[in-house]
Amino acid sequence: MALDRWIALAFIALCCIYGYAAFFTMDDQLPPILQRNPVWPSTFPKILTVLGLFIGLVVLFTSNPPTDGAPAKDGAIDLSRLGDYHVGQAVALLVLMVAYALTLRPLGFVGSTVAFLVLGAIILGERRFHILIPVTVIAAGSIWYLVQEVLGIFLRPWPFMFM
């Protein structure tokens, strides 16, 4: 089986787990007055589950045309040349995402977001720090302001020691 079908199979399994949570566990704790609403907190996850399953099944059961030694299309991944791709950058970004999630509380939203954006850009090859740092500070501050002040959702901007 081709790599895209294995990925589709894993995606379908993930959608099934997500769908189980959306359909059977998310709405158990709703108060009775909210159970009469037409839109519940699980509505969007249910829609995502159905769409994800549909797309995964389409990829899984769509037949690929035979290549018969034809050269790969531009943009197609050639597994025999996996070392030619920037796998190190992809793994570094995944590790950085995990580190971002772990540093949200200790560093605060603004600090961890600025660090994540700056380090991510450095991993991807950005070297114009005089543009990079102000843009990340403005972006993190703007997102914090929108979430905290406009939406009214508390989001700790700074580390514990500064609050």
Share of the chain above pLDDT 90, in %: 40
How far is it, in rounded angstroms, from Cα 34 to Cα 28?
11
Q: What is the pLDDT of residue 143?
A: 92
Q: What is the pLDDT of residue 3?
A: 76
Residue type, 105: R
22: Cβ contacts below 8 Å, ≥ 6 apart: 42, 45, 46, 48, 49
Distances (CA, A) of 34 to 28, 30, 48, 69, 156: 11, 6, 22, 59, 29
110 in Cβ contact with 147 (< 8 Å): no
Q: What is the pLDDT of residue 66?
A: 58
Residue 17 in this model has a pLDDT that exceeds 60:
yes
Look up the pTM and report it.
0.57
pLDDT digits (tens, 9 = 90+) for 24-67: 887 777 777 777 788 887 788 899 999 999 999 998 888 666 55
How far is it, in rounded angstroms, from Cα 10 to Cα 119?
30
User: Both tokens of residue 113?
Assistant: 């977001």
pLDDT digits (tens, 9 = 90+) for 105-159: 888 899 999 999 999 999 988 889 999 999 999 999 999 999 888 888 887 777 7
Half-sphere CA count of 128, side-chain side, radius 13 A: 4
In this structure, what DSSP letter does residue 85 have? S
56: Cβ contacts below 8 Å, ≥ 6 apart: 8, 9, 11, 12, 15
